[in-house]
Amino acid sequence: MNNDDFRQWSARAAEWGADYRNSLRDRPVRPLVKPGDIFKSIEAAPPETAEPMDAIFADFEDKILPGMTHWQHPRFFAYFPANAAPVSVVAEYLVSAMAAQCMLWQTSPAATELETRVVDWMRQALGLPEGFSGVIQDSASSATLAAVLTMRERALDWQGNKKGLSGQARVRIYSSDQVHTSIDRAIWVAGIGEDNLVRIPAAGRFRAMDTVALEAAIVADKQAGLLPAGIIACVGGTSTGGTDDIADVAAVAKRHGLYLHVDAAWAGSAMICEEYRHFWAGIERADSIVFNPHKWLGAQFDCSIQFLRDPESHVRTLAIKPDYLKTHGHDGIVNYSEWSVPLGRRFRALKLWFLLRAHGLDNLRTMIRNHIAWSEGLATRLAREPDFELVTEPMLSLFSFRHQAPSGSDPDEHNLRLVNAINDDGRIYLTQTRVDGRVAIRFQVGQFEATAGDVDTAFDTIAEVARALA
């Protein structure tokens, strides 16, 4: 592809993207395909000779697009959307065109310095105190892994990376049973082992960790010769929005000298609105916090910010400095590859810079407030219906519900059939979870371009499909 072809196809791709976004409400949210359909449509052997771009692009539209779930669909109410506000997509075009490897200050000074600035913008926007610094990770999973590794190293007096875990005291990490499965993976990858992730029961409307039980578990482990290292709290658990009392958890962490990491992956974005900050009161006492601008704020995936109260321990855990990665003749610079597990780094700060400038915090706050109000309104409407019940009340924009099963039917089976039937209908997309062992259906509003009308469509779809199924 020469430069003229690159110009032509870049313009064609941009035009296609705009047309695609404009057509989303006319498409089913989830593709109506069966496992293997797309695989069978792709040639079994790689091409020996070059093919024209017209043919490649046509196959993209004919073979790939029909098998895509449309994450930017305004009626995507499943999981939490990986949003991509159009302005952040434009920034990603520029990032892709430059194709910079931003691992060190010297490999792209502007990328490093812009990252430092926009992370501090977000610190201010969330109301975090001065003194917190941070880094843009790819996802909350990587940020949590970095936090767990730091917990481990601090507890082992910095000997884990050097000597390994064999022969060391068993490291213990504590969390509620509402945390995301990325915490489990971090425990595995860090070599701590699943048996050493201590699950503390959660209770109450927001399913907060029982801090009395937390402290008792820590004391019991110390008496047994085990090595408590850290606590992982959550604000907005994935299942139903489980939210710990951060101030109480932080007090326990301080009494026992433990590292506190707070996972606020989706809910953290709401803290740009001052009226929601009570959900993480005490957050200034956390050692590490992660939230994902690529969820509720609209930054193109991937873009996850990890804030650090004191980055020294974090960098001491992760930094490796061979001579070929040193920037000679400059002191006091930041190399963000020393703040993350991967060495390679994309220029993620650019899309966040474009996004914040193009929308401003005021417009982003309005979007979040609307989403929360619309979700609460839908929860109220469903609760008023005689054949529906709320299982968990709204936590910001997330709640769960259940439909009454026909007489003689298994309620769990009925609600699993219902969520599948809703998704097959195509107008909206939902997911299920389990609450106290029973199936419930999750609903959340978080898609960047959703409207009140889209939420009205959700009510109509849920009610129609449920009653047809019953």
pLDDT at 373 over 50: yes
- Identify the band that residue 328 occupies on the pLDDT scale cut at 50, 70 and 90: very low
Q: Which of 115-119, 160-164, 410-414 has the weakest average pLDDT?
A: 160-164
Q: Given this model, what pLDDT does residue 337 score?
A: 87
- Identify the band that residue 329 occupies on the pLDDT scale cut at 50, 70 and 90: very low
Mean pLDDT of 457-464: 96
- Fold category of 101-346 in CATH: Aspartate Aminotransferase; domain 2 (3.40.640)
- Fold category of 3-82 in CATH: dopa decarboxylase, N-terminal domain (1.20.1340)
Q: Using one digit for the tens of pLDDT, what is the confidence trace for 401-420?
A: 999 999 888 999 999 999 99
Provide the residue ranges of all domains of the chain, joining segments of one domain with +: 3-82, 101-346
Mean pLDDT of 91-120: 90
pLDDT at 393 over 90: yes
Q: Which of 101-110, 266-275, 388-397 has the weakest average pLDDT?
A: 101-110
Q: Using one digit for the tens of pLDDT, what is the confidence trace for 129-154?
A: 999 999 999 998 999 999 999 999 99
Mean pLDDT of the chain: 92
Q: Using one digit for the tens of pLDDT, what is the confidence trace for 172-182?
A: 999 988 777 78
pLDDT at 327 over 60: no
Mean pLDDT of 453-459: 96
Q: Using one digit for the tens of pLDDT, what is the confidence trace for 182-223?
A: 888 899 988 898 999 999 998 888 888 999 999 999 999 999
Q: Given this model, what pLDDT does residue 163 score?
A: 87
Preceding peptide of 302 cis, ω within 30° = yes
Q: Given this model, what pLDDT does residue 324 score?
A: 44
Q: Given this model, what pLDDT does residue 183 score?
A: 85
Please give the share of the chain, as a percent, with pLDDT higher than 90.
76
Q: Given this model, what pLDDT does residue 330 score?
A: 47
